[in-house]
Amino acid sequence: MTEATPFGERLAAVFAAYGRLCVGIDPHAGLLDRWGLDDSAEGAREFGLRVVEACAGRVGIVKPQLAFFERHGAAGYAAYERVLREAKDADLQVLADVKRGDIGSTMDAYAEAWLRPGSPLEADAITVSPYLGLGSLEGTLRLAESAGKGVFVLAATSNPEAAPVQRSVLQQSSRAGSTIAGAIVSGVTAWNAGRPDVSNPPMGAVGVVIGATVDLAAAGIDRDGEPPRPGLPVLAPGFGHQGPSASDYRTIFGALADGVLVSESRSILGAGPDGIADTIARRVDEVVAAGA
């Protein structure tokens, strides 16, 4: 596929070819130690390259957590860029977990850094924060659309301190009466449905982040209605280490399940350099069986 192919089409192709497992690349200090690597940019680079090697040909998408590279400064970014190149050479889609969120030209600059074709940091998709208003991301969504990229907007995360904010009910909005999380999901769904240049895409280019441990009803997110059209990509972290099994994704997400990326990091990375490939293969089989 060319880079201009819409992200939603590429994501649907990944689901068809490899299933929906998304493997995190999280070189935090504890994992580097368990892998026998130094807590340094060089260690993060070697860790990332080994994860990419284990994923190649087994899954279609990886999710580097940029904070664990960024903490090593410029050398950490160089390490990420090397991992990024190797992932692209292995035909992996790269979802950069950057969680950027700002307004105006500042947010536009973040979008150019991570989504502009030819940028040293260019990824296939990124995560973003909408808590300066979903409208503050419009420039990012338009750049993603023009470049064939994807964006995943934080909606309902698994950390308990987020619930009071994300479950708060909007008072002044076109979606007044909805929770913040529910309004974000509705807003993203409407954006995808309103794109004038695509007649019937299998997946939208813009998705949401919903943790696998989130009580969707309490968060104001409908899992029982009609599936969104086009399909709504859902990055669902929290499988494995936080409790839910990858095979539970349909039970958890209901009508949203067709768009779910089953994201696992620590439960896979904890297998170590000698066990990670076999662990990935087993998890892929579990997810595929759950969707059959």
Q: Which residue range is the domain that position 69 belongs to?
A: 7-291
Going through the chain in order, the beta strands assigned E by DSSP cover 21-25, 61-64, 93-100, 125-128, 150-156, 206-210, 234-236, 260-264
What Å distances lie between residue 245 and 163, 239, 241, CA to CA? Answer: 22, 6, 9
113-131 per-position pLDDT tens digit: 999 999 999 999 999 999 9
Which tens digit of pLDDT belongs to each residue from 165-179? 999 999 887 888 899
Structure tokens at 94: 């790269």
DSSP labels, 126-189: EEE--TT-GGGGHHHHHHHHHHT-EEEEEEE-SSGGGHHHHTPBPSSSTTTTSBHHHHHHHHHH
In-domain check, residue 194: yes
Residue 2 lies in a domain: no
User: Taking a C-beta distance cutoff of 8 angstroms, is the pair 24, 265 a contact?
Assistant: yes
Tokens read off for 141: 């969504």
Token pair of 149 as six digits: 């990229």
> Within a 13 Å sphere around the CA of 53, how many CA atoms are in the beta-carbon half?
11
150 within domain boundaries: yes
In a domain, 113, yes or no: yes
- The confidence band for 2, taking pLDDT boundaries of 50, 70 and 90, is very low
β-strand partners of 262: 21, 236
Residue 199 pLDDT level (bands cut at 50, 70, 90): low
Tens-place pLDDT, residues 123-166: 999 999 999 999 999 999 999 999 999 999 999 998 989 999 99
pLDDT of residue 247: 87
Q: What are the two backbone dihedrals, phi and then psi, of residue 32, each rounded to the nearest 5 degrees? A: -60, -40
Question: Is residue 103 domain-resident?
Answer: yes
1 is a domain residue? no
| Residue 1 clears pLDDT 60, i.e. is over it | no
Distance CA 170, CA 192 (A): 22
What CATH number is associated with residue 183?
A: 3.20.20.70
Which residues are marked as active site? 99
The three-state secondary structure class of 26 is coil
Domain total of the chain: 1
Q: Is residue 199 part of a domain?
A: yes
Give the residue among 68, 203, 173, 187 at the shortest CA–CA distance from 130.
187
72, part of any domain: yes
Q: Is the separation of the CB atoms in 1 and 13 below 8 Å?
A: yes
46-105 pLDDT, tens digit each: 999 999 999 999 999 999 999 999 999 999 999 999 999 999 999 999 999 999 999 999
